[in-house]
Every structure is written in C-alpha cells, then in structure tokens.
C-alpha cells in the first residue's frame, strides 16, 4: 500500500519527502530505498523491535516499511489541466491515502505561490481541484451505470443512488470522505477512483522556532482536521532535513536542543501507517526480529501469507503470544509455562503486536 504526499508548490512537500527517504530509519540504521525519483520506501520506527531483542538474541532488526509517493505540486485549475493536470490526478488515484502538506509559517526564503500564508485557503484550493476532478469522473460514469441498472445489473442498481448522492454532495463542495458513507458503500464506489474518498493526514510544515506546532496557523489546521475526524502532524521540513544527515549521537543532541525526543518524521511515519489501516506483527529468531505489515483484521493464514504465499496455502496453525507477555515473562519457555502461548487456527484475527510462529505443510 502507498501513501501520496500532495500540496501546493513551494510548501515544503518535496523537502519532507526527501528528509523521509534520506533518514531511512529515522532513529536507527534500518534500510530504506528510493525506488524511482518520486517513490521512496521508509521504515516505520518501532521501539518494540529493540525491546524484543532484550529477550530474544538476534543478528538484526527489520522494521515495517511504508511506500511514499511524492506527487507533483497542485495549482489552481489543475482539474482543468493547469500545471501537470492529468499527471497528478493519475498519481493520486493510485495511492491509498494522502499526506497533505500545508505551510504554517511566515517569512522564509521561498515565496508562497499564493503570495501569502493561509493554510486553510491552501487546503480549500486543493480540495476544490480534487472535488472538481471527482465530479467530472462521476458525471461521466453515472449514465453508463443507469443504463446497466435499467438492464437489471444488480450491482449497478445499488450503485446508481450512491453515485447520484456523490454528485449532489460534490456539487455542494463536500469531499467524499465527508459524506458519511458506510464502509460497504465506499467499497461499491471504490472502482470510480475518487480522490476525495481517500483518508487524509495533514502535515503542518512549521518553522524552526515552533518545531512542535504550537502556533496559531497549526491550530487552525487542527480545528479543520478535527471537523473531518482527521489528524495533524507538525513537521519542520528544514530541521528534519538537517537531522536526517546527522549521526545518531549528534541527532540526539540536536533534538534535545529543540525539546524533542525523536524526529517528527518518526511520528509522521507511524501516523501514515495507521492512516492506511495497517498494523504489525512480529517474528523473532536468532537471525532476525522482523515487523510484518498486515491490514487490520487480517487472519492468521493471511498474516502467514505475507511472509510467503506457500505459508498461507499450507497453513496448519499459529503459535502466538503477546508482546506484553514477552516483556513480563522474558522468555518463550516462561510464556509457555505460564499458559500464555496460544495455538490459533485459520479463523484467528491477528492483534497488533502479536509475536507468531507459523506451522504449515510444504
């Protein structure tokens, strides 16, 4: 799954993307990669990996990874082809969620594309372009769906009233994510690829004088996000870029100087992970302790399939215990003796932080 970074030109979007991909682990020597110029893979910092290694000796730690796409800056009129127009639209349709970077500081060397700093105006500008593009998409689709519905197509019969509702709300300037649809309704309209249906995390690009985002501009974004049941992560793009270049010890000193315990990008990675509806489980052995990424609600066979498809096909059972149990009992043998190690079958739904061994047929 992928998350895309969007924003107006010159709001710090690419600076934050570059800091993410350059930082790699953000707090340790975890791997990262730039797949292509505008796609990066970054680690999701997780202190539980080190904590597990205090109980289970292992050669290396492997964190969960997150794919991030840096999408071209959006300008007014983009829905009508201004700027990169259709190119950015196709990129947004392909990602699973969106990080919306907004500038929340005055001054600086870079002039704002709108001539002044107003994060709510900037959010509205991009929302308007995405709403207009979505409206064009559904208006093109609704006649075909109506025709299919008249012919007795069961799925189209259900989709038509939903699409008509989408059209009416988009015309009033409401993004799909704010229309109150149930999950099953969103699933029915998902094939349309509507950009405003995607979950959004606002990234407030702040100044070095306000690295934790206490200023009034960030507060405005927080109020906006609260109304949308969303979230905001303050990030000083300039500071994070500097931190990404420092050795670990120097990074700690610089963070302390700014009253921070970790780079803001660590929090951003974790929030983006949650935004995508993802969670982690662990495998632990002498060669590696690894965090594996699965959708929330995944079953044990599905989790095994993330390691290898054959594990899902030949799944027999899973031996599972909780991270908290390892912290309490310190060894797997003690966990077993305490009756905390569980044997789970095909119907088991994985929990965040489970530590698992899978048994399967070759």
- Structure confidence by residue, pLDDT tens digits, 326-350: 999 999 999 999 999 999 999 999 9
Local confidence band at 36 (pLDDT 50, 70, 90 cut-offs): low
264 shares its domain with 333:
no
Higher pLDDT, 240 or 27: 240
CATH code at position 340 = 3.10.20.30
- From 223, 242, 275, the end of a domain falls on 275
303 shares its domain with 184:
no
Look at residue 79 and tell me whether its pLDDT is greater than 60: no
- Structure confidence by residue, pLDDT tens digits, 218-231: 999 999 999 888 89
Local confidence band at 34 (pLDDT 50, 70, 90 cut-offs): very low
191 shares its domain with 238:
yes
135 shares its domain with 176:
yes
Distance CA 48, CA 217 (A): 34
CATH code at position 108 = 3.40.50.300
Sorted by sequence, the CB contacts under 8 Å of residue 350 that are 6+ apart come out as 279, 281, 294, 298, 299, 300, 302, 303, 356
Higher pLDDT, 78 or 309: 309
48 shares its domain with 164:
yes
> What is the sign of the dihedral through the CA atoms of 125, 127, 131 and 133?
positive
14 shares its domain with 130:
yes
Distance CA 76, CA 79 (A): 8
The total number of structural domains in the chain stands at: 2
**With the CA atoms of 208, 213, 219 and 221 taken in that order, what torsion angle do they form, in degrees rounded to the nearest 10?**
80
Residue 319's SS3 state is strand
């Amino acid at each position: 799954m992928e998350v895309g970074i969007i924003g107006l030109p010159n709001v710090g979007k690419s600076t934050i993307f570059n800091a993410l991909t350059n930082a790699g682990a953000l707090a340790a020597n975890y791997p990262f990669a730039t797949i292509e110029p505008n796609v990066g893979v970054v680690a999701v910092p997780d202190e539980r990996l080190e904590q597990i290694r205090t109980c289970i000796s292992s050669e290396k730690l492997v964190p969960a990874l997150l794919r991030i796409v840096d999408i071209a800056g959006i300008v007014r009129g983009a829905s009508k082809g201004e700027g990169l127009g259709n190119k950015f639209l196709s990129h947004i349709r392909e990602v699973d969620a969106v990080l919306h970077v907004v500038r929340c500081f005055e001054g600086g060397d870079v002039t704002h594309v709108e001539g002044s700093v107003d994060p709510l105006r900037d959010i509205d500008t991009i929302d308007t372009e995405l709403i207009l593009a979505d409206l064009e998409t559904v208006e093109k689709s609704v006649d075909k769906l109506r025709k299919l519905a008249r012919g007795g197509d069961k799925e189209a019969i259900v989709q038509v009233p939903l699409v008509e509702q989408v059209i009416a709300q988009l015309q009033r300037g409401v993004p799909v994510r704010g229309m109150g649809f149930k999950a099953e309704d969103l699933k029915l309209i998902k094939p349309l690829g509507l950009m405003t249906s995607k979950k959004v995390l606002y990234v407030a690009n702040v100044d070095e004088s306000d690295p934790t985002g206490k200023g009034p501009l960030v507060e405005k974004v927080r109020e906006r996000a609260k109304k949308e049941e969303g979230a905001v992560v303050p990030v000083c793009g300039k500071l994070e870029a500097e931190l990404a270049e420092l050795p670990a010890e120097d990074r700690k000193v610089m963070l302390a100087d700014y009253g921070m315990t970790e780079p803001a990008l660590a929090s951003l990675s974790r929030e983006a992970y949650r935004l995508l509806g993802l969670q982690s489980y662990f495998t632990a052995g002498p060669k590696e302790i690894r965090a594996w990424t699965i959708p929330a609600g995944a079953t044990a066979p599905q989790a095994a399939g993330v390691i290898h498809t054959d594990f899902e096909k030949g799944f027999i059972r899973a031996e599972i215990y909780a991270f908290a149990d390892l912290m309490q009992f310190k060894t797997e043998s003690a966990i077993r003796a305490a009756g905390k190690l569980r044997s789970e079958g095909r119907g088991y739904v994985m929990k965040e932080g489970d530590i698992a061994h899978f048994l399967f047929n070759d």
